[in-house]
């Protein structure tokens, strides 16, 4: 239906030219203004709820700027009756329509606000350079033939620039929403480039109101239809390296545009050209620095997630394994002893079944906090070993200090009281602790220490739970030495 309405729009435009030749120019201008306005409306509608909302809104702004340029042409030729003059303001709006499109291609997905501010500032400067360059050849009401020729060349470069980068962004998009946007933009840009090249170089002598005007409608109607109708996208594999490379490099589009425009202004406006070069360089550099800082912050957060248990906030099993191996190696080199504690929450399955998983999670968090609060040395490491089990690595510790700390942990947990909405009063919880200590490390792997701690924990539970039991590290076989 959308495509049928687009064809109907063209037919109505053509019939108006044939049936009402006396008013052909006025009617044709109305259709030429209406087509980009319809495209803008379709883009704004598509932006609602879309992840590519910035792109669709920018595209709508570009369409309205182009419609404004055509409206100025209409005012000049119909309102003032001067068909021979080319208003400079109209030419400027035709050029400026490409600035929002360039911004849309350069703006990355999910960009933070400060990057949007930098991109927006560079886009505004680009628009100002377009303004200065345009009015180097035209006036508000007229343009010389040489000026029009220079602007035609700039139009060709701008259109090719937009079409080429839009196609590249489409081919490299691995996100369905962004891919749909760049497909619509690439379709419009390539058709518009072809139509503009024909009109500017072969049909520029003809005034508005002829059948060539129907061609001008086509790219805008295609965009309106593509934006209004959510056409399905066939699955397509995109090289991850290509997608990342284009996504990271896309902000350079604005910087490149600024550099090109600044180079065109070197002779006529050298100071402005230098400012353009400087802002393009500084803006791109500042953007790169901020992106790198943001990337490092995200890396830090991921590093924390990789080392910390999400529920309890203590170290996870992976971090425990790394700490245990590192402290074991350090103890072996220094000749100091070390200890390991294995902690198990007593009857935790029964607790979970009776009071529910939310209170079970609260219990795990409370026990983890009590254990971490008791292990006051910076070198002590408390970790969630798995399920309701915890482990504590104690480097450079004495046997008496280890046993005293284990008992303090048991008492700290025994004193905990958890509130339950389904029971009267508060709920207590206890733990069993297995302890193993070595005064001298002689092997490369701490497997004997872990085995002794596991055996001590099993013995603590066998003896009735809520207690601390010390295990003995088994003798190490000769073939295990220095493994």
Name every residue whose Cβ is closer than 8 Å to that of residue 27 and which is 6 or more positions away in sequence.
13, 16, 17, 20, 209
Q: Are 467 and 410 in contact (CB under 8 A)?
A: yes
Helical segments of 346-394, H only:
348-355, 357-374
The one catalytic residue in 77, 158, 327, 388 is: 388
Q: How far apart are CA 177 and CA 184, in angstroms?
A: 11
CB neighbours of 98 closer than 8 A, spacing ≥ 6? 62, 158, 159, 161, 162
Element housing 167 (H / E)? helix 145-171
Scored b (16 or more CB within 10 A) or e, 17-48 reads beeeeeebbbbbbbbbbbbbbbbbbbbbebbe
Cα angle 294, 167, 32; round to 5: 115
Cβ partners under 8 Å of residue 445, min gap 6: 325, 328, 480, 483
CA atoms within 13 A on the CB side of 250: 29
Catalytic residue flag (residue 388): yes
On whether the CB atoms of residues 354 and 337 are closer than 8 A, the answer is no
Phi, psi dihedral angles at 356 (to 5 degrees): 95, 160
Question: What 3-state class would DSSP assign to 342?
Answer: strand
Cα Rg of the chain (Å, integer): 36
CA dist., res. 232 & res. 238, Å (int) = 17
Residues identified as active-site: 388
């Amino acid at each position: 239906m959308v495509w049928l309405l687009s064809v109907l729009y063209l037919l109505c435009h053509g019939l108006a030219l044939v049936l009402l030749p006396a008013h052909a120019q006025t009617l044709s201008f109305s259709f030429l203004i209406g087509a980009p306005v319809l495209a803008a409306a379709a883009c704004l509608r598509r932006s609602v709820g879309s992840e590519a909302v910035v792109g669709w809104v920018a595209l709508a702004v570009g369409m309205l700027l182009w419609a404004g340029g055509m409206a100025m042409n209409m005012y000049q030729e119909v309102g003032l009756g001067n068909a021979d003059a080319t208003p400079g303001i109209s030419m400027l709006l035709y050029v400026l329509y490409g600035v929002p499109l360039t911004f849309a291609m350069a703006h990355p997905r999910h960009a933070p606000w400060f990057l949007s501010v930098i991109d927006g500032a560079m886009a505004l400067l680009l628009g100002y350079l377009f303004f200065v360059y345009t009015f180097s050849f035209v006036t508000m009401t007229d343009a010389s033939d040489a000026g029009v020729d220079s602007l035609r060349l700039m139009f060709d470069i701008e259109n090719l620039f937009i079409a080429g980068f839009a196609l590249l962004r489409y081919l490299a998009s691995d996100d369905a929403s962004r891919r749909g946007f760049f497909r619509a933009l690439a379709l419009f840009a390539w058709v518009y480039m072809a139509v503009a090249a024909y009109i500017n170089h072969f049909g520029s002598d003809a005034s508005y109101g002829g059948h060539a005007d129907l061609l001008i409608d086509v790219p805008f109607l295609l965009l309106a239809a593509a934006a209004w109708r959510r056409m399905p996208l066939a699955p397509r594999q995109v090289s991850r390296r290509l997608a990342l490379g284009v996504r990271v490099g896309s902000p350079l589009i604005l910087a490149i545009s600024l550099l090109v425009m600044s180079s065109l202004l070197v002779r006529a406006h050298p100071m402005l050209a230098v400012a353009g070069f400087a802002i393009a360089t500084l803006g791109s550099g500042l953007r790169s620095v901020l992106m790198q800082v943001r990337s490092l912050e995200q890396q830090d957060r991921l590093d924390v997630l990789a080392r910390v248990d999400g529920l309890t906030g203590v170290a996870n099993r992976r971090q425990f394994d790394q700490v245990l191996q590192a402290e074991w190696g350090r103890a072996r080199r220094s000749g100091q002893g070390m200890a390991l504690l294995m902690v198990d929450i007593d009857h935790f399955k029964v607790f979970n079944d009776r009071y529910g998983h939310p209170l079970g999670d609260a219990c795990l968090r409370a026990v983890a906090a009590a254990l971490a609060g008791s292990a006051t040395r910076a070198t002590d490491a408390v970790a969630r070993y798995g399920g309701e089990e915890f482990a504590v690595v104690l480097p450079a510790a004495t046997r008496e200090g280890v046993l005293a700390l284990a008992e303090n942990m048991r008492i700290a947990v025994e004193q905990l009281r958890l509130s339950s909405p389904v029971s009267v009063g508060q709920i207590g919880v206890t733990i069993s602790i297995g302890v193993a200590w070595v005064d001298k490390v002689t092997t490369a792997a701490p497997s004997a220490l872990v085995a002794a701690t596991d055996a001590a924990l099993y013995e603590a539970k066998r003896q009735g739970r809520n207690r601390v039991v010390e295990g003995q590290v088994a003798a190490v076989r000769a073939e295990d030495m220095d493994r």
